[in-house]
Amino acid sequence: MRVLITGIAGFIAHHIVEDILKNTNWEIVGLDRLDTSGNLNRLTDIEIWEKEKRRVRFIWNDIRAPINEYIKKEIGNVDIILHVAASTHVDRSIENPMEFVMDNVVGTTNLLEYARKIPNLKRFFYFSTDEVFGSAPKGILHKEWSGYNSGNPYAASKAGGEEMCLAFANTFKLPVLITHTMNVFGERQHPEKFIPMTIRKVLKGETVIIHADKSKTKAGSRFYIHARNVAAAVRFVLDKGTIGEKYNIVGEKEVDNLTLARFIAEVVGKPLKYKMVDFHSSRPGHDLRYALDGARLKKMEWELPKNFKESMRQTIQWNLKPENKKWILL
């Protein structure tokens, strides 16, 4: 098997690479343009890299432009495409929506155009997000085919890419699989994300901003999931999933961000300084709660390899090691 992974130098994709190298004999071709979040040091930093790097080939490419004949030749034949590349930061999408349209809608369409001409392609895997469904009121869990209600340009651009995948599946019979994933954490995450940012601020004694409701008493919540669990779920869906279907990859339990920040401070061993901010009213486009229904994968007997608390503790401790503090900009 030969798999093409877009955004290979990104946070989630490099964990997928690690999972494939550990659990299969597949060869990997990776595309990345190495800009805001792409960092090839993620790949060289994984434990198994030196032993298995011969199975990985990197090609610099920006999918905002159509994949040309030279790049096609460089990629060669592939059996599976894992489209993980995306612009993902909500704040940046609010500041520059068109950048996200280009990356997540146009880029996805360029990749689909390339994919539909590959003979005998087994799977085109699109990595989507829970945010396409918008905010989830208390008690609501969005199912795979729930209606879109994007709360910001990032979410809308991911929904647009998702719809293009379905259009290519319906029009060209492309073997599409789609997953929605909730907030992912783990080693080597971009320092702008909440968990590495909170670790850094606790270590430096700075104030952590907690997004809250209008009363500034209820913190926003998420179903956090470790990137290794996500990578294992991706491999599971590739093996067990039905072409043309969608699957939610859901964390073990819902955790509000104040509780999470307190847990981080506890593991770090320093006091937490925090401020509750009605961020969602002052900055439209941010949702207080996201939630997915994970019943479908559970019915297929998918189980998380590691639980939330163990995964989170290990991630915090990993970031505290002197050799790893560079990943949280310390």
Which pair of tokens denotes residue 41? 């040091």
Q: What are the distances in angstroms from CA 200 to CA 205, 261, 330?
A: 9, 11, 7
Q: Is 274 a catalytic residue?
A: no
Q: Is 160 left (phi over 0), alpha (psi -120 to 50) or beta?
A: alpha
The sign of the torsion formed by the CA atoms of 168, 169, 174, 179 equals: positive
Domain region containing 278: 190-222+255-286+308-328
Q: Are 125 and 13 in contact (CB under 8 A)?
A: no
Q: Are 79 and 121 in contact (CB under 8 A)?
A: yes
Number of domains in the chain: 2
Q: Is 103 a catalytic residue?
A: no
How confident is the model at residue 307, as a pLDDT? Answer: 87
Same domain, 53 and 79: yes
pLDDT digit string (tens) for 289-299?
Answer: 999 999 999 99
What is this structure's pTM?
Answer: 0.95
Same domain, 150 and 62: yes
Q: Are 137 and 153 in contact (CB under 8 A)?
A: no
C-alpha 282/C-alpha 301 separation (Å) is 42
What's the one-letter identity of residue 187? E
How confident is the model at residue 72, as a pLDDT? Answer: 97
For residue 124, being part of any structural domain is answered with yes
How confident is the model at residue 305, as a pLDDT? Answer: 85
Same domain, 28 and 51: yes
Catalytic hit among 114, 126, 154, 274: 154
Catalytic hit among 19, 130, 187, 256: 130
Catalytic hit among 18, 32, 103, 131: 131
Same domain, 83 and 216: no
What's the one-letter identity of residue 245? E
Q: Are 107 and 64 in contact (CB under 8 A)?
A: yes
Q: Give me the residues of the chain with pLDDT under 50, please.
A: none
How confident is the model at residue 233, as a pLDDT? Answer: 97
How confident is the model at residue 279, as a pLDDT? Answer: 65
Q: Are 159 and 105 in contact (CB under 8 A)?
A: no
Q: Is 213 a catalytic residue?
A: no
Same domain, 158 and 61: yes
Same domain, 62 and 137: yes
Same domain, 217 and 134: no
How confident is the model at residue 260, as a pLDDT? Answer: 98
Same domain, 180 and 200: no
